[in-house]
Amino acid sequence: MLLRLIIRDFVIVDRLELEFGAGFGALTGETGAGKSILVDALSLALGERADAAVVRSGAERAEISAEFDLAPDGALQAWLQANDYDSDACLLRRVIDSAGRSRAYINGAAATLGQLREVADFLADIHGQNAHHSLLRADAQRSLLDTHAGAQALAKDVASAWSAWRVAREARQAAEKDVEATQRERELLDWQVKELLALAFDADGWLETEQEQRRLGNAKELLDGVGAALAGLEDGEAASLPALQHAGARLMQLTAFDSALGEAAQLFEGALIQLEESALALRRYQDRLELDPARLGELDNRIDAVTQMARKHRVTPEELPELLQRLQSRLAELTLRADPEALAERERRTEAAFRTVAKQLSALRAKTAKSLAKAVTAGMQELAMAGGRFEIALESLPEGASIGLESVEFLVSANAGQPLRALAKVASGGELSRIGLALQVIASQANPAGTLIFDEVDVGIGGRVAEIVGRMLRELGKSRQVLCVTHLPQVAAQADWQWSIAKRTRDGATTSAVNVLDAEARVGEIARMLGGEKITETTRRHAAEMLGLG
């Protein structure tokens, strides 16, 4: 259930902080007062796309925060834990700056719009004022049926399985169409792969080869340099180490006469030790390093071979292993393509997988189509369409498609004795509104979301039908939180609670305000909805009667 909605600098709202109750709540007000702005703001908090136009004029950014209650050990709590969010609360926040940049947060931590939409599936279901028009599209009809059946995930699996089957079928067809070209490419790839395998390139080994080649290639210069250093230290006529050792010993003797020389003598001795160790290390290096023209030649040949191979394929030596993998993958694909039976088997396997999951979806659709059609037909009788019928036709698609093994079409007979025809061809504007509303209310009963929002979905109806719609929403509000933006007094009068949205002008700026209505204020608002600007005592009595207060 939606507990709190905070809106700042959004369209004509400067700041609103709203606390919501349970049951059926009606949001009313004059046209243009901003009733649907609340729904639009909530939609953004639930992951809808936004642009800079939603930021109130003169403001730097718009902010919307929506707090929902969180059932312990529920599916949403499990989702929050799985995605490393705090699972003790459910607070969604959206910030849109004046440049159109958007940021999203879940329980104070950054989130993507995709994550907000995933969370929204657990929390709220919004039915827009033009929702019934979308029902004229085949994809919207199919989506509504699948949603009511709880088959959205299964429908995605069917689409994936169809895609895999299509790829396998196209691979077989391509192989049959161009056998010679495939064979030529296979032969070339086979030769290239063998050539790369024979090279036996290894990235770590390549580094060692380069280092050894660099060392052997400069062996003479290295030996000359090391020899010169050793000569300067201890081997030559002008070797400095013996003289330094003698001077060090003399300094240590002198410390007996004056201890102030101790620090200098110790530093001298330390430096001398470093020089002696350096001389030992140089001698060990000199003993290991040899001129080896034969080995150097091997390394030069290896480096040349690797470099030539890399140049041939227009890659760096370090990219050769990745190149080999790509060529091997392509060769495997072409090898399979050259095996008609293997390709046919893969096609049969993927087709079987598609048909298995598609049949599961078909069974679920068929079962749900009957129950949904029955419920909508009953709803039509209540909504002044006596004798009308609603059915869902599932037309078989023997070859299958990404949508499954059948198409979905809503059929309706608006009056008794009329044949069933496609919804788009039969329903008038008013009839479409009523059928659409019945579908939305009935489909919402199967939706797991705890909050249902209807944004002026009652357009095109009135009188007794509007009263029935109000009762339907009130009944729905017994098990869910239902919010309805409405201009019909018959609908608003059925609500458990009611807010009035109005525009205010201050300092030349127009803003939207929300008034929580008590029993007396509700009478006045319902009377306004009934009578317009001039409200008579008769209108107020009628409003009180509608609210059950008369």
pLDDT in tens, 238-271: 678 888 888 888 888 888 888 888 888 888 888 8
500 pLDDT above the threshold of 70 = yes
448 pLDDT above the threshold of 50 = yes
Amino acid at residue number 289: L
Give 91's pLDDT tier (boundaries 50, 70, 90): very high
For 345, the enclosing helix (H) or strand (E) is helix 340-382
Q: How many CB atoms lie within 10 A of CB 154?
A: 18
**What is the arithmetic mean of pLDDT over 338-349?**
83
What is the predicted pLDDT for the residue at 290? 65
Which residue shows structure tokens 């657990």? Answer: 122
107-134 per-position pLDDT tens digit: 999 999 999 988 988 888 877 765 566 6
432 pLDDT above the threshold of 90 = no
Lowest mean pLDDT among 159-168, 170-179, 320-329: 170-179
Domain boundaries, the chain: 196-332
The span from the CA of 2 to the CA of 483, in Å, is: 10
Give 369's pLDDT tier (boundaries 50, 70, 90): very high
Give ∠ CA 112-117-121 in degrees, rounded to 5. Answer: 150
Predicted model pTM: 0.60
What is the predicted pLDDT for the residue at 453? 85
Nearest to 37 by CA among 518, 520, 510: 510
What is the predicted pLDDT for the residue at 430? 64
Residue 464's alpha-carbon distances to 28, 389, 483, 489, in angstroms, are 19, 20, 21, 11
Residue 511's alpha-carbon distances to 9, 11, 16, 486, in angstroms, are 10, 9, 10, 20
**What is the arithmetic mean of pLDDT over 470-482?**
87
Cβ atoms 470, 491 nearer than 8 A:
yes
Lowest mean pLDDT among 186-200, 360-374, 410-424, 459-473: 459-473
What is the predicted pLDDT for the residue at 427? 58
Higher pLDDT, 538 or 366: 366
Any alpha helices (H) in 29-137, and if so which ranges?
A: 35-45, 75-82, 113-123, 131-134
Chain centroid to Cα 484, Å, comes to 29
Residue 362's alpha-carbon distances to 155, 158, 390, 394, in angstroms, are 10, 10, 20, 9
324-327 long-range contacts (CB < 8 A, ≥24 apart) are 324/193, 324/196, 324/197, 324/201, 327/189, 327/192, 327/193, 327/196
Average pLDDT, the chain: 84
**What is the arithmetic mean of pLDDT over 2-23?**
90
Cβ atoms 43, 92 nearer than 8 A:
no
Burial class (CB in 10 A: 0-12, 13-18, 19+), 111: buried
- The CB-side HSE value for 61 (13 A sphere, CA atoms) comes to 10
What is the predicted pLDDT for the residue at 133? 66
What is the predicted pLDDT for the residue at 550? 46
Q: Which of 154-168, 301-315, 411-425, 434-448 has the highest mean pLDDT?
A: 154-168
Residue 321's alpha-carbon distances to 195, 299, 317, in angstroms, are 12, 20, 9
Higher pLDDT, 139 or 179: 139
Coil, strand or helix: which one is 95? Answer: strand
What is the predicted pLDDT for the residue at 230? 72
Higher pLDDT, 370 or 215: 370
195-228 per-position pLDDT tens digit: 888 888 888 788 887 777 777 666 666 666 766 7
Give 289's pLDDT tier (boundaries 50, 70, 90): low
258-267 per-position pLDDT tens digit: 888 888 888 8
518 pLDDT above the threshold of 80 = yes
25-65 per-position pLDDT tens digit: 999 987 766 677 888 899 999 998 888 889 988 899 999 99
